Amino acid sequence: MKFHDSLIGAILLAFGFWVVVTALGYPQMPGQSIGPGTFPSVLGALFIAGGALLTISGLRTRGTTLLDIDPGWRHADRLAAALLATVGAVLLALVFESVGFPLGGFVLVTALFVLSGYRHPIWIGVSAVFVLAVYLLMTRLLYVPLPAGLLKGIL
């Protein structure tokens, strides 16, 4: 997924201005000319300068599109797998305590197997055994308090 350099430059330019404005709003340390905003202001200036240079060099490059999408993204199953791996993981994080890792992880891994083309029932078993093994390893051996969630009474 390639964006045109001028577009990235413009985003960086806007981000840099936001950083500078926010950082300048932080109070200075008493009796000093510096404060918590000094370092972020320098970074903001770097983004503004970098963004401007990238925009200019991007505008000089002709014949390229604003967004070049890899052919893989045009396959519905691949797009769904990538979205599930990212957005799905965030959604799982939101319900991690209530649903729990064993069930949430099992659903996520099984769905990813299905979307990757592994649809034989054996893969359901593979995800169940794998997620359970990870859960037991982390909770019993390493004492990481992974939430059991809905399976609290069983595990």
Q: Which of residues 48-87 bind other proteins (CB under 8 A)?
A: 50-51, 53-54, 57, 70, 72-73, 78-79, 81-82, 85-87
Rounded to 5°, the CA angle 88-104-109 comes to 70
Out of 10, 17, 96, 103, the only residue in the binding site for other proteins (CB under 8 A) is: 96
Structure tokens belonging to residue 53:
């240079």
Alpha helices (H) in the chain, listed in sequence order:
5-24, 38-60, 76-83, 89-94, 96-99, 101-115, 122-136
| 3-class DSSP state of 33 | coil
User: Is the CB of 11 or the CB of 153 nearer to other proteins?
Assistant: 11
Q: Is 13 in the site for other proteins (CB under 8 A)?
A: no
Name every residue whose Cβ is closer than 8 Å to that of residue 120 and which is 6 or more positions away in sequence: none
Q: How distant, in Å, are the alpha carbons of 39, 41, 122 from that of 16?
A: 13, 9, 51
Q: Is 136 in the site for other proteins (CB under 8 A)?
A: no
The contact set with other proteins (CB under 8 A) reads 1-3, 5, 8, 12, 19, 22-23, 26-27, 29, 32-40, 43, 46-47, 50-51, 53-54, 57, 70, 72-73, 78-79, 81-82, 85-87, 89-90, 92-94, 96-97, 101, 105, 108-109, 112-113, 115-118, 127, 130-131, 134, 138, 142-146
